[in-house]
Every structure is written in structure tokens, then in C-alpha cells.
A = this chain, B = another copy of it.
Amino acid sequence: MPETLIKVDLSKPAPSNEMVHNRWHPDIPMACWVQPGDDFVLETYDWTGGYIKNNDSADDVRDIDLTTVHYLSGPVGVRGAMPGDLLVVELLDVGAKSDSLWGFNGFFSKKNGGGFLTEHFPQAQKSIWDFHGLFTSSRHVPGVNFAGLIHPGLIGCLPDQKMLDMWNARELAFIATDPERVPPLAAPPSAATAHLGKLKGAGREKAAAEGARTVPPREHGGNCDIKDLSRGSKIFFPVYVEGAGLSVGDLHFSQGDGEITFCGAIEMAGWVHMRVSILKGGMALYGIKNPIFKPSPITPQYNDYLIFEGISVDEQGKQHYLDVHVAYRQACLNAIEYLKKFGYSAAQAHSILGVAPVQGHISGVVDIPNACATLWLPTQIFDFDINPSAAGPVKHLDGSVQMPLSPDLR
């Protein structure tokens, strides 16, 4: 049995746990140390530290304070890891906690973070997904059932002070270009809700004030939300501080490319079983800036896809220049429109695109002025046939089941 180095008790507040943290800072003390070659288990909270509940109201999605996220387990120190090395992490397995076999997906209110399609889904909504072994289904989104592509949404090593300073400079300057924007252009440090593991005293104050928020992916990896960085994969992380300081959290039972629903994938509390080793001097040897990885030999094999195209002309007909973000949004909206013909509400269709193992491909990025993106919808996850046919679509859902929605309070 591999040792469980970090445990989380879902009945207690995440900030009470000194082995977790919610900011990136080089001064966060290692929660524990391992040797290269060790394999071990880390338990994790869901990204909100348990704020979102398994119920039929979206109030929690509406009301959450997003400065509190994400609660990460770690940092784990690896003996001998030095700046410039690559930390090799094998995700031997990832799973849900046995006392919490469910996850959530939702859309934030436009006033509280919004999301990829926030103009179309401006209010808080939620769906709950139950896990049945390798599979998941939802009482709020009928007619789909699929195997989980289980992965950590967030994993990476501690930055050093220089990199942290660069992040802060870069993002604060960016916010300054439009400081009143809602949602803001980036997530600046926020001392009030910072949780820095074992760090105490003055060092804690400094780190809380300047600790980088965990929201975006950055050079070290972090919140990449790459669905294919799943259990069984092998990742090569840049090391910036002695001991590396590996942290992980934000586990997903499944997610579509883009994590378009933002709140988020199928979010869950769980555990990660991993093995670490060191590739000395690997950053220079291989010219590595961002992490690289090998995908898992075990992933769900849904290979019958219906593919939707989108181009970088937005839904108001406005032209954008080779903008893959806009193009993918169009592909998503096209897929939602299609799924509505089978009886899904727009919200349910949106949710499916956020949680199912949907692929999002960058198909063409050079044919001015339009980028082309494609959304690959696996047909085998549906209980019924969603392929087009001469007979036209059959409404398999009667609308009696809907996703909870919580209107903004004012």
C-alpha cells in the first residue's frame, strides 16, 4: 500500500488543513518530503474546498467567493530536485474519495466570474453527477452516461521569487489596461482569503500579499485543465525551487476540451497516486519552458464522433481575426443548437459539452480572416442515436428534467 502523505477531511474547512494551500509562493513550506522513486498518495479537496453541495439548488454556485480557490494538496518536496531539473511525475491512478462519489458542474453568474458562454448563460446553474464505478450520469442531465477521463485540473511546482514577481508584474499590468472590467482581466493577489499551508507570522503576511492566484495556467503548468493529463499519464515539470514543491488539486472526473463551463468540469474531491523522479538538468537538455507530457495508455475509447465546425465570426456577425477562441465558441453554440433538437435545454447541452470527453481541435489558423475550430462530440455517450438522418431528429427528452438555476439576487 502506498502511503497517504496528505489527508483531507471533507467534514472540516479546507483552510484548517495545513497540508493544503490556495496560492503559489516560494515561501510556502513543504507539506512533506519524498525521495525520487517513491510512490505515494495525496488526498485533495474539490477545488472549492467543499463549498458546492450535492443538492438541487445553484445558490452555492451563485454565491461562492472565487478568491478562495483552488485548494491544493502540497507542496511535496522531492529530495535532490534542483532548479533547472525536470520533475517526472507518473500519475499512477486518480480517483474520487470513497465517501464522496459525486461531482458538480455549473455556470457562474456573469456577475461572479462568468464563463466562456456567459452572454448566453448569464445566471448561475448547476448539475450534479453521480459516479458508478468508472462511469458517471446526472439526475439533472438525462440521457448521457460515460466513462470518466479522470484527471487533475491543476498540478505543478512552486515558482521561485523571480518567476512569481514576473507573474505579478505581467498580470497587474494587464489588469491596469482595463481596471473596471467585470469580470476582471485577471485575478490579482488577494490576501484576505489566502491559505498558505504551514506558513506563519510575517512570512505569511508577505506571501498572502503577493502569492499568485491559482486561477490561470502559467509557465509551471498549474491550472491547465488539460483533460488528457489523466491518470496513467507521465508529466515532465520544470523545477524552480530546491525540492520542487509539487502541488495538485482540482480533480475532475471528466471534462471536455476547454472546460467551457468554467465551474468547471465534473469537479470532485479525491486522491492522486503518483510516483516522482528527477531528470537532472532536463530544462536545458530538452529546451523546456512549459511542462510536456505523455498521455495515458488507459483512456475512454469513444471514437464515433459528430463534429461541429465554427469560424471566427461571432454570433452577432462580427468579424474577428484568426481568433480560435471565437471560432470554438461558435462550434460550441452550433453543437448546443443541434442537441436542443433532441429535447435538451440549452443549459443541459452546454453542460454536456463541459463535462463529456469532447475534443476541441484548432483546425485552421492561417486562412485570413477566419480561424476554424472543431468540436468533436462523442455519439456513444448518449442513450439514443444523435446522428443526423433523413427522418429528422427525435425528441428523446420531454423537458420535465431541468438543471437548477439561481437568479442573481439583484
Contact = CB atoms under 8 A, between A and B. Distances in A.
Interface of A: 1-2, 39, 86, 91-93, 98-99, 101, 115-116, 132-135, 146-147, 166, 170-171, 173-174, 183-187, 215-219, 221, 223-228, 231-232, 236, 257-262, 264, 273, 275, 279-282, 285-311, 313, 317, 319, 321-325, 328, 330-331, 334, 337-338, 340-341, 359-374, 376, 380, 385, 387-390, 392-393
A366 B297 contact: no
Per CB-CB distance, the 10 closest pairs between chain A and chain B, nearest first, are: A92-B133, A93-B133, A360-B362, A225-B364, A324-B324, A216-B370, A287-B337, A262-B366, A174-B319, A186-B369
26 contacts: A2-B132, A92-B132, A134-B231, A147-B298, A174-B321, A183-B368, A224-B372, A225-B363, A226-B307, A226-B372, A228-B307, A228-B363, A259-B367, A262-B366, A286-B338, A288-B338, A290-B308, A292-B388, A294-B304, A294-B305, A294-B306, A298-B300, A301-B303, A303-B303, A324-B373, A360-B362
Nearest to A231: B134
A101 B325 contact: no
Contacts of A373: 324, 362
Contacts of A330: 290
A328 B334 contact: no
How many copies of this chain sit in the oligomeric assembly? 4
B282 A388 contact: yes
A258 B340 contact: no
Contacts of A173: 319
B147 A392 contact: no
Contacts of A227: 363
* Residue among A225, A261, A322, A390 having the largest count of chain B Cβ atoms under 10 Å: A390
Given A305-B295, A362-B324, A334 B258 contact: no
Contacts of A362: 257-258, 324, 328, 360-362, 373
Contacts of A2: 132
Given A287-B340, A297-B302, A341-B286, A388 B236 contact: yes
Nearest to A329: B365
A132 B257 CA distance: 28
B363 A258 contact: yes
